[in-house]
Structure 1
Amino acid sequence: MSLTYIQSFVAVAEEGHVGRAARKLHLTQPPLSRHILALEDELGTRLFERTPRGMRLLPAGEVFLSHARRILAEVDVAIERTKGAGGSDD
């Protein structure tokens, strides 16, 4: 599972719309939609209900969202701490 897929999922969940999430991520809609479909395929369950107005989280999506946010937060912490431990090798 890639961080890109997780970031894509969180953006769509927060925006509730693939187009708005794509703009937020500086992507176009087709690759973002592919990320979501690939993630759902990997997890073996649908995360969103597709509606005429956008995307609505299904119960599995609600569960995954809390984990996805924690994963991304942990990655941010790891990056900050690693950079801090690196000293000034610039």
Structure 2
Amino acid sequence: MSLTHLQSFVAVAEEGHVGRAARRLHLTQPPLSRHILALEDELGARLFERTRSGMRLLPAGEAFLLHARRILAEVDAAVHTVRGVTGTRSGG
């Protein structure tokens, strides 16, 4: 499971739509959809119901969302801690 997959999942969950989430993440829809499918495959559970108007979280997705947000927040905090210690402002 990659951070990219978690970021993709959270964006789709919050936007409720793959197209809007793709724009938010500066991606196109096909790779974003592949991220979601790969995550669902790895977890062995469908996270979203695909509807005509977008994506709706299923119970497994609702349960996973809290954890995904927490993981991403922890990674962000770790990056800020390291940058504070080293005095760097950006990665790269």
TM-score by length of 2: 0.93
Aligned to 1:52: 52
Moved over 2 A (4+): none
Structure 1 gap segments, 5+ residues each: none
The C-alpha deviation readout for 1:38-82, integer Å capped at 9, x for no partner, is 000000000000000000000000010000000000001000001
Mapping of 1:18-33 within 5 angstroms? 18-33=18-33
TM-score by length of 1: 0.95
Identity of aligned residues (%): 81
Aligned length: 88
The change in CA–CA distance for 1:25 and 1:87 in structure 2 (over 3 A counts) is: closer
Mapping of 1:1-90 within 5 angstroms? 1-87=1-87
The change in CA–CA distance for 1:87 and 1:22 in structure 2 (over 3 A counts) is: closer
